Every structure is written in structure tokens, then in C-alpha cells.
């Protein structure tokens, strides 16, 4: 349990985000956001409640909502489209999630654990999803007929008439240079640091992967230079 000062700091970080004033303009408690919210139908979650807690600066209840409730939001932004005050409860939740990660809250770690595979894919390849992730073993609830033609995944992907899509471990073929640029973005924007706070093991795997790719890219650049010299 956090101290009041820590909870206050968390609230200050939420309110300090430059988007905060865009996303919160007032609240009449009309509840149209909750009435239209998909998550409110299945979880103990109400976008109206989130807005009210922030609007009334209830730091303890805000902290409490960050334990579980904010992770129920489906981020569809239906609430934002409906709010007569032009609030974005979904946008506020996004800010609160970022702050939960920054403060290394256990709720964030718990929630992100099953997301590791996507994270690994995204950070290392620049794609968030790949064909080899969509296999029947991973999604038994999708049923036995997850696709209509059985066969070797590699062959079925080769039958897609677009070269960039004939991949198995990425959604499309991403150039090495592009991936290396992504790593720079992750580093310079603090995303890798966030990841380290959340899951050190995953971070280590990703760091090794990035190092390897960067070496590959350096080698490729050297080869290019040598080729150019030979041409000269």
C-alpha cells in the first residue's frame, strides 16, 4: 500500500501529462460514457467513475482504481465520442496506465505478463503480430477450423500474391534498417526503460536481440562500402 504522499505523486503525474486538459473538461455525472461502454457491461468498471475521481481529485480512490479498474477499459473511445463535455475517459485511462508503469505498480506488471509475446515481437521487429502467433494451439477457443485450408504455414503464406506478406514470423517483411531505426526510437523515448521496469527478463531478451540486429546492420553497411569500393 502506498503512502498518501506517493498517491499524491501518482495523481500529480497523471495531471501533469500535457494531454490531461484535453481529456478532462468537466463532468455532469450524466453517465452516457458508462451507458455506452463495452467494458462496463462485464467488469466493475465505469468511465464515469474514473472521470469523477479525477475531477474531484480523490487521490486515494484514483490509486485504488489503478490497481485493476483501468485495465478493464477496451480503449474503443466510444465514451470520448459520446461525452457532452468532450472528455475522453479512455484517454485518461491511457495516461493512468502510463503512470502505473512509471511507478512500477504491481497491477501493471500482472496485466502485462501475458502481453510479453506481443511486446517481444513489437520491440524487436516493428510488427505487433505475426502469422506464427495465430495458431490453433494458442487460441483453442477459436475452434478447430481456425482457417479453411490446412497446410504448411510457410507454403500458405507464399501463396499470398504480395511479396512483403510472404512471411511467417513477422506480419510483413520489415527491412533491417527500419528495425534499427525503431530501436533508436525505443531508446530515445524511454520505452525500453519502461519495459525494464515491468519485466527485467523480457528486457534482457530484447536487449540481446537488438544488439544482434544492430551488428547485422553494421555488417551490412560494411559490405555495402566494400562493394562500392570494388566498383570504383
Partner 1 sequence: MKPTDQTPGNHNTSAEGTGTGAMKPGFHNTDGQGIAGHGSFFQATDLSPEDAVRATDWVRKHVDRRTIDLGDRMDDVREHMEELEKDGQIIIHRVGDQHEPVSVKTLFGWDKKIPTKQLWHHKSCGQCGNIPGYPTALLWVMNKFGFVPGKDYLDETDQTSCTAWNYHGSGIGNVESLAAVFLRNFHQAYISGKQHGHEAGHFFPLVHCGTSYGNYKEIRKYLIESAELREKVTKILGKLGRLVDGKLVIPEEIVHYSEWVHVMRNRIASELQTIDVSNIRVTAHVACHYYKMVHEDAIYDPTVLGGNRTAIITSMAQALGAQVIDYSTWYDCCGFGFRHIISEREFTRSFTMDRKIRVAREEANADVMLTNDTGCVTTMDKNQWIGKAHDQDFQVPIMAEVQFAALACGADPLKIVQLQWHASPCEELVEKMGISWDEAKKNFHEYLKEVEAGNIEYLYNPELAYGSKA
Distance separating alpha carbons of residues 30 and 39, to the nearest angstrom: 18
Rounded to whole angstroms, what are the CA distances from 164 to 158, 159, 172, 213? 10, 12, 5, 20
Interface stretch with partner 1, choices 1-9, 25-33, 48-56, 125-133 (CB under 8 A): 125-133
Binding of residue 137 to partner 1 (CB under 8 A) = no
**Mask of contacts with partner 1, 162-181, x by CB under 8 A?**
xxxx----xxxxxxxxxx-x
Binding of residue 24 to partner 1 (CB under 8 A) = no
Binding of residue 35 to partner 1 (CB under 8 A) = no
Helix axes 116-125, 191-198, angle to 10 degrees: 150
Contact 177/213 with Cβ under 8 angstroms? no
Binding residue for partner 1 (CB under 8 A) from 20, 118, 205, 214? 118
Binding of residue 206 to partner 1 (CB under 8 A) = no
Binding of residue 160 to partner 1 (CB under 8 A) = yes
Distance separating alpha carbons of residues 221 and 232, to the nearest angstrom: 17
Listed in sequence order, the residues at least 6 apart from 187 whose beta carbon sits closer than 8 Å to its beta carbon are none
Binding of residue 124 to partner 1 (CB under 8 A) = no
Task: Find where cell 481456425 sits.
Answer: 146
Contact 88/22 with Cβ under 8 angstroms? yes
Binding of residue 20 to partner 1 (CB under 8 A) = no
Q: In terms of CB distance, is 100 or 210 closer to partner 1?
A: 100
Q: In terms of CB distance, is 56 or 226 closer to partner 1?
A: 226
Q: In terms of CB distance, is 10 or 119 closer to partner 1?
A: 119
Q: In terms of CB distance, is 56 or 185 closer to partner 1?
A: 185
Binding of residue 205 to partner 1 (CB under 8 A) = no
Distance separating alpha carbons of residues 177 and 162, to the nearest angstrom: 21
User: If you write DSSP's letter for every residue of 162-206 in order, what string do you get?
Assistant: -GGG--SSSSS---HHHHHHHHHHHHHTTHHHHHHHH-HHHHHHH
Residue 73 backbone dihedrals phi, psi, to 5 degrees:
-60, 135
Binding of residue 106 to partner 1 (CB under 8 A) = no
Q: In terms of CB distance, is 2 or 80 closer to partner 1?
A: 80
In angstroms, what is the minimal distance from the CB of 42 to partner 1? 5
Binding of residue 196 to partner 1 (CB under 8 A) = no
Size of the site for partner 1 (CB under 8 A): 84
Binding residue for partner 1 (CB under 8 A) from 26, 57, 134, 135? 134
Binding residue for partner 1 (CB under 8 A) from 10, 59, 65, 112? 112
Residue 178 backbone dihedrals phi, psi, to 5 degrees:
-60, -45
Amino acid at each position: 500500500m502506498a503512502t498518501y504522499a506517493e498517491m499524491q505523486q501518482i495523481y500529480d503525474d497523471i495531471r501533469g501529462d500535457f494531454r490531461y486538459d484535453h481529456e478532462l473538461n468537466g463532468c455532469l455525472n450524466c453517465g452516457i460514457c458508462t451507458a455506452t461502454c463495452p467494458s462496463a457491461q462485464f467488469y466493475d468498471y465505469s468511465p464515469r467513475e474514473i472521470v469523477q475521481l479525477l475531477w474531484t481529485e480523490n487521490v486515494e480512490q484514483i490509486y485504488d482504481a489503478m490497481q485493476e479498474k483501468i485495465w478493464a477499459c477496451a480503449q474503443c473511445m466510444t465514451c470520448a465520442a459520446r461525452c457532452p463535455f468532450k472528455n475522453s475517459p479512455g484517454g485518461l485511462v491511457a495516461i493512468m496506465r502510463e503512470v502505473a508503469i512509471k511507478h512500477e505498480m504491481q497491477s501493471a506488471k500482472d496485466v502485462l505478463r501475458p502481453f510479453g509475446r506481443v511486446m517481444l515481437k513489437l520491440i524487436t521487429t516493428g510488427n505487433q503480430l505475426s502469422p506464427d502467433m495465430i495458431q490453433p494451439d494458442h487460441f483453442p477457443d477459436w475452434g478447430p477450423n481456425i482457417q479453411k485450408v490446412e497446410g504448411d504455414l510457410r507454403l500458405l503464406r507464399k501463396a499470398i500474391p504480395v511479396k512483403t506478406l510472404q512471411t511467417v514470423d513477422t506480419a510483413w517483411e520489415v527491412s533491417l534498417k527500419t528495425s534499427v531505426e525503431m530501436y533508436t526510437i525505443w531508446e530515445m523515448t524511454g520505452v525500453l526503460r519502461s519495459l525494464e521496469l515491468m519485466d527485467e527478463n523480457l528486457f534482457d531478451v530484447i536487449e540481446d536481440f537488438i544488439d544482434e540486429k544492430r551488428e547485422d546492420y553494421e555488417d551490412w553497411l560494411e559490405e555495402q562500402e566494400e562493394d562500392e569500393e570494388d566498383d570504383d
